A and B are shown apart, each in its own frame.
Chain A
Amino acid sequence: MFSWFGRVSFVPYSKVQDFAVHLRNGYLMGTRCKKCGFQTFPPRADCPECMSDEFEFVEYSGKGKVWTYTRIDAAPTGFDDDVPYTCVVVELEGGGRLLAWSGETLPQDEVKIDMDVQVVPRILEETPDLRVCYTVEQPGATWHKAPEPHLG
């Protein structure tokens, strides 16, 4: 369910909602258009190039470089207890970019533009409901992937 994704959720449904199921199992997925091959992250169901709606998920390594970042001190609703947190935009190996927080292995004041990083899928431990996201860690960070889920 896409509502699992993010530290909060604004989007309960999406044509790419299996992204969240894959992420829970430790797979970072982008999408590729089956018709013309256009590949992108974040995933999207409709090809911006050829307009086809036939897509498939394709796994990303999560390796990347820091493109830009900011440490947020004044938070919006739902994030009051989390400040300060640092939002990092990562340019991904394989194309595309993502935005996530710097994680435990990457102290906020050590984030630098162009540094190599590793995006790691996460299941949050302390929320009552199931939440998945990813964090930006030092290169070489590892995680375990569960066997591919049955998507029903």
Chain B
Amino acid sequence: MSRVGVIGIGHGVFGRRSDATVQELAFEAFRSAMVDADIGRDDLDASVIAAVPEYHKQRSVAGVVQEYLNLNPKPTWLTEVACSSGSAAIRTGWMAIQSGLHDVVAVIGCQKMTELGTADILALMGRVGEVQWESVFGTTFPGYYAMFATRHMHDFGTKRENLLQVAIKNHYYGARNPNALFQKEITLEKALAADPVASPFNVYDCCANADGAACIILASEEKAKAMAKDKDKVVWLDGVGCATASMSVLKRPNLTGVPSASDAASQAYRQAGVSAKDIKVAEVHDCFTIAELMAYEDLGFCEKGQGGKYIEEEKPYIGKGGVAVNVDGGLKAKGHPIGATGVSMAYEICRQLRGECGERQVPNADVGLTHNVGGIGQYCFVHVFKNS
């Protein structure tokens, strides 16, 4: 099978973007990616757009974004799988190219989370889980992951501090990423004293809603080699894993890991011909602190149950002998515009594999990974990228 390469990447500023509509946010990222790729709109065959529609006033968001990007009449469609919509769009673009239907596809993840009023957002918050048997008891997104944490702490002795150590790391790196929502580091004292959300979590265990967009341009191997401004800067998307798990926590085999993540990871590793040991840098889905901690285990960076120890020993920091994880701040410091996050992850990995990250550069980054989870793990996409 021939490869699919990333020939251009772009990212907007994440935050409370009351200055822009979703299509204006999409354009920021699209423009940067097109400039980065040094191509014109005529070079694109299609776009795939990721957004979670229910947060927008505009119905059928893909249409308005395609128009604003001036991509009519090229084909487009929306991919939506909750927080993993961005990676789903990437997988879709990859599939379109591998099928031979298209050669060059722009993948745009864009999202406004702050367009609705508080009441509407709170109502949406209460329907994250399975609505027939669970949401009717007032379950919330943090509540679900908190249940994972409760179990993980019970089964493996993971400490409360371990969870916050994940947040501390991500804010450390977020402070060094101009695109991140939160630009300040945090301390353990401050983190421990924050308002409770769902036991054992407080506010510092939870990512924040944000508006934002990111964009990557995918091309077939042949076109990538022909079109790339600098062929050495093409990053190859060699492993695309995807799996699902039950929507309902009542049906999961356990609540100490995300089964769709381990399934998707083994697919991606196998396809890319690598194993966990080969991954130098990773972007994982830290919607809540426990999620990143479980990702270390689900992705094979450490043994099952050892996630607490892994972060306590600072292994996921740059240059500490482990996999550098979320060194752009992760969801925790960047904010989480749900449709855009998956593409933002790909953007960071591509920059790392190109050696463009300055003080946040992971040394010898040749193989990178994105781990993008939808909701509480009912969907997961794991992508493995290589720079040669």
Is A–B contact present in the complex under a CB 8 A cutoff?
yes
Stretch touching chain B among A31-39, A51-59, A73-81, A137-145: A73-81
Quick check: A89 and B250 within 8 Å, CB to CB?
Answer: yes
A73-B255 contact, Cβ under 8 Å, with A5-B136, A9-B136, A68-B151: no
Nearest opposing residue in chain A for B120, CB measure: A77
A110 to chain B, nearest CB (A): 13
Contact of B138 among A87, A89, A96 (CB under 8 A): A87
Quick check: B139 and A99 within 8 Å, CB to CB?
Answer: yes
A99-B250 contact, Cβ under 8 Å, with A10-B131, A72-B143, A77-B126: yes
Complex-state Cα separation, A6 to B136, whole angstroms: 5
Quick check: B136 and A82 within 8 Å, CB to CB?
Answer: no
Stretch touching chain A among B92-100, B191-199, B298-306: B191-199
Q: Determine which residue in B122, B133, B139, B147 has the highest number of CB atoms from chain A within 10 A of its CB, and name it.
A: B133
Complex-state Cα separation, A83 to B70, whole angstroms: 48
A98-B133 contact, Cβ under 8 Å, with A71-B199, A76-B122: yes
Quick check: B196 and A68 within 8 Å, CB to CB?
Answer: no
Nearest opposing residue in chain A for B249, CB measure: A89
Q: Is the CB of B146 closer than 8 A to any CB of chain A?
A: yes
A87-B139 contact, Cβ under 8 Å, with A14-B132, A99-B250: yes
Quick check: B138 and A78 within 8 Å, CB to CB?
Answer: yes
Q: Is the CB of A8 closer than 8 A to any CB of chain B?
A: yes
A133-B136 contact, Cβ under 8 Å, with A69-B147, A70-B150, A96-B250: yes
Complex-state Cα separation, A89 to B146, whole angstroms: 12
Q: Is the CB of B101 closer than 8 A to any CB of chain A?
A: no
Quick check: B123 and A77 within 8 Å, CB to CB?
Answer: yes
Quick check: A101 and B147 within 8 Å, CB to CB?
Answer: no
Size of interface on A: residues with Cβ below 8 Å to B: 37
> In the complex, what residues of A have CB within 8 A of residue B251's CB?
97
Q: Is the CB of B74 closer than 8 A to any CB of chain A?
A: no
Chain B 117-147 per-residue mask, 1 if CB under 8 angstroms from chain A, else 0: 0010011011100011111111110110011
> In the complex, what residues of B have CB within 8 A of residue A71's CB?
196, 198-199
B32 to chain A, nearest CB (A): 35
Complex-state Cα separation, A84 to B201, whole angstroms: 13
Q: Is the CB of B57 closer than 8 A to any CB of chain A?
A: no
> In the complex, what residues of B have CB within 8 A of residue A89's CB?
147, 249-250, 255
Quick check: B131 and A11 within 8 Å, CB to CB?
Answer: yes
> In the complex, what residues of B have CB within 8 A of residue A86's CB?
199
Can you name 8 A-B residue pairings with CB atoms under 8 Å?
A68-B147, A74-B197, A76-B125, A76-B138, A77-B122, A77-B123, A85-B138, A89-B249
Which residues of B approach A to under 8 Å, CB–CB?
Answer: 119, 122-123, 125-127, 131-140, 142-143, 146-151, 154, 195-200, 249-251, 255
Which residues of A approach B to under 8 Å, CB–CB?
Answer: 2, 5-11, 14, 42, 67-79, 82, 84-87, 89, 96-101, 113, 133
Starting from the known contacts A98-B133, A99-B139, 9 additional A-B residue pairs (CB-CB under 8 Å) come to A10-B127, A11-B132, A68-B150, A70-B150, A70-B198, A76-B138, A77-B119, A86-B199, A87-B138
